[in-house]
């Protein structure tokens, strides 16, 4: 039994005893006991009333004067309230500091509620996104940033995605958006100014495209002359061998220049071509014929399986380049008399173009880096086979434009399978 309860019970006992004695003298013990109970109840009700009044009107003030167990209860409530107030002040301080630091950021931070309406933003958001304090509160963010790409990103984007768009506030400025979902479909939007990065990227792209373009003419002239002089009986064998090597190297340089130009074109955002249905049966049969002619000495068995009636919506020439790169790689990296299978198939969600070979395969540590430009597992072997180191980078970019991804599975000395996975939206 707690001390409080003991004290309360002894208080009741004294009261009952006192009234019982008076009642005994007045010859009415039972009635006096009832009176004692009524007094006791009355006292409790009075305390209860005071406590209620205090809690209702001024709970922050010191509690009123109470008796017995009620005094203890009031003191406990008062202590708890004081603690909670301190914790609240502490929390508000932390929130205030967090707000101040978020406001000082260069990145725009925007809180959007579950209905897509603006809830809070920092000062960088006013500068970068043009939100106005006072007027834009509670407005739908998609009414303010109306770019369809942003609306799609806002509806479906995840923390892993990032969207790059021209600024709708400042000309020639670029912003990158990132989104994080939390709570009940609430969203935290972060926007960065990436103009400088974009400019540098553009300079790099332009430089590569211009250099490649400028190299084209001299290379054409050189190969023209080499073509004329090669295998000419007037020259000694030594000179002819030199011409042969010159022809090989100019061919390599032409391949490199062509691949670089193709990559530049694929990277540039301005040239958007219209997607059209691509007849996969025809395309893959053409590619098979080209593959048979690519290195006939190797006598590979090259098979095409069309297991899906679906057509691909896309840019046929780019898709041809990508698939052709995968097929020529399979030919290059498979020893003579190998088997190469090209398959077009689909399931409920995706369509797959896979190129499977039983060639030299790739060690697992190289696989994540294969689509980087100029990354080669074995540079000497790649150069010997006429590779530029850009083939898989081209494949990656073409697939990116078709919202597809490249899966690579391979085992050293067993073979490799490169699979292009196309989403439903790219199929008809």
Chain residues binding ligand ADP by CB under 6 A are 325, 329-330, 333, 357, 359-362, 370, 375-378, 382, 387-393, 416
Chain centre to alpha carbon of residue 114: 20
Rounded CA Rg of the chain: 40
The structure tokens listed for 93 are: 């301080």
Three-class SS state of 362: coil
Identity of the residue, 354 or 416, whose beta carbon is nearer to ligand ADP in the bound complex: 416
Pairing of strands 301-306, 339-346: parallel
Identity of the residue, 250 or 328, whose beta carbon is nearer to ligand ADP in the bound complex: 328
Per DSSP, 62 falls in state P
Q: How far is the CB of 413 from ligand ADP (least distance, A)?
A: 10
Identity of the residue, 310 or 400, whose beta carbon is nearer to ligand ADP in the bound complex: 400
Identity of the residue, 295 or 378, whose beta carbon is nearer to ligand ADP in the bound complex: 378
CB 263 within 8 A of CB 204: no
Identity of the residue, 167 or 409, whose beta carbon is nearer to ligand ADP in the bound complex: 409
Identity of the residue, 23 or 387, whose beta carbon is nearer to ligand ADP in the bound complex: 387
Between CA 239 and CA 241 the distance in angstroms is 5
Identity of the residue, 78 or 375, whose beta carbon is nearer to ligand ADP in the bound complex: 375
Between CA 13 and CA 8 the distance in angstroms is 9
Q: How far is the CB of 367 from ligand ADP (least distance, A)?
A: 9
Q: How far is the CB of 183 from ligand ADP (least distance, A)?
A: 44
Three-class SS state of 138: coil
State the Cα angle at 394 between 391 and 395, rounded to 5°. 90
Pairing of strands 405-411, 415-423: antiparallel
Q: How far is the CB of 414 from ligand ADP (least distance, A)?
A: 10
Identity of the residue, 257 or 390, whose beta carbon is nearer to ligand ADP in the bound complex: 390
Residue ranges in 268-334 assigned as alpha helix (H): 280-294, 316-332
Q: How far is the CB of 395 from ligand ADP (least distance, A)?
A: 8
Residue ranges in 333-425 assigned as alpha helix (H): 379-384, 391-401
Between CA 70 and CA 225 the distance in angstroms is 109
Q: How far is the CB of 375 from ligand ADP (least distance, A)?
A: 6
Chain centre to alpha carbon of residue 152: 14
Q: Which of 13, 12, 18 is nearest to 69 (CA)?
A: 12
Identity of the residue, 312 or 377, whose beta carbon is nearer to ligand ADP in the bound complex: 377
Q: How far is the CB of 305 from ligand ADP (least distance, A)?
A: 18
Q: How far is the CB of 142 from ligand ADP (least distance, A)?
A: 40
SS3 content of the chain, % helix, strand, coil (to 5): 55, 20, 25
Q: Which of 140, 197, 206, 194 is nearest to 166 (CA)?
A: 194
Q: How far is the CB of 372 from ligand ADP (least distance, A)?
A: 8
Q: How far is the CB of 425 from ligand ADP (least distance, A)?
A: 27
Between CA 395 and CA 318 the distance in angstroms is 9
Identity of the residue, 226 or 370, whose beta carbon is nearer to ligand ADP in the bound complex: 370
Long-range contacts of 97-106 (CB under 8 A, 24+ apart): 106/192, 106/193
């Amino acid at each position: 039994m707690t001390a409080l309860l003991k004290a309360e019970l002894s208080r009741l006992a004294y009261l009952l005893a006192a009234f019982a004695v008076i009642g005994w003298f007045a010859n009415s013990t039972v009635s006096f006991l009832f009176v004692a109970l009524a007094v006791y109840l009355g006292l409790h009700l009075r305390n209860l009333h005071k406590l209620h009044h205090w809690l209702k009107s001024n709970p922050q003030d010191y509690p009123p004067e109470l008796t017995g167990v009620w005094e203890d209860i009031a003191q406990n409530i008062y202590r708890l309230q004081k603690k909670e107030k301190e914790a609240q002040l502490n929390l508000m301080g932390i929130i205030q500091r967090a707000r101040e630091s978020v406001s000082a950021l260069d990145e725009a931070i925007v809180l959007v509620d579950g209905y897509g309406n603006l809830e809070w933003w920092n000062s960088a958001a006013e500068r970068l996104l043009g939100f106005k304090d006072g007027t834009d509160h509670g407005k739908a963010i998609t009414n303010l940033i109306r770019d369809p790409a942003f609306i799609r990103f806002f509806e479906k984007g995840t923390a892993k995605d990032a969207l790059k768009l021209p600024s709708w506030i400042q000309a020639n400025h670029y912003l990158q958006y990132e989104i994080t979902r939390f709570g009940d479909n609430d969203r935290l939007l972060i926007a960065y100014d990436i103009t400088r990065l974009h400019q540098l990227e553009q300079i790099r792209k332009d430089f590569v495209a211009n250099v490649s373009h400028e190299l084209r003419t001299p290379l054409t002239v050189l190969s023209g002359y080499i073509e004329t002089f090669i295998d000419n009986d007037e020259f000694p064998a030594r000179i002819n061998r030199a011409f042969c090597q010159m022809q090989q190297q100019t061919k390599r340089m032409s391949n490199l220049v062509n691949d670089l130009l193709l990559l530049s074109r694929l990277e540039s955002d301005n040239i958007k071509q219209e997607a059209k249905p691509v007849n996969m049966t025809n395309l893959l049969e053409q590619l098979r014929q080209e593959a048979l002619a690519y290195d006939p000495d190797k006598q590979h068995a090259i098979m095409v399986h069309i297991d899906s009636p679906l057509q691909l919506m896309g840019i046929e020439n780019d898709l041809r380049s990508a698939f052709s790169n995968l097929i020529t790689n399979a030919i290059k990296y498979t020893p003579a008399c190998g088997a190469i299978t090209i398959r077009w198939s689909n399931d409920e969600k995706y369509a797959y173009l896979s190129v499977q070979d039983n060639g030299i395969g790739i060690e697992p540590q190289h696989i994540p880096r294969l689509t980087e430009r100029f990354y080669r597992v074995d540079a000497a072997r790649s150069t010997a086979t006429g590779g530029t180191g850009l083939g898989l980078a081209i494949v990656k970019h073409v697939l990116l434009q078709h919202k597809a991804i490249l899966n690579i599975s391979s085992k050293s000395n067993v073979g490799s399978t490169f699979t292009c996975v196309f989403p439903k939206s790219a199929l008809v």
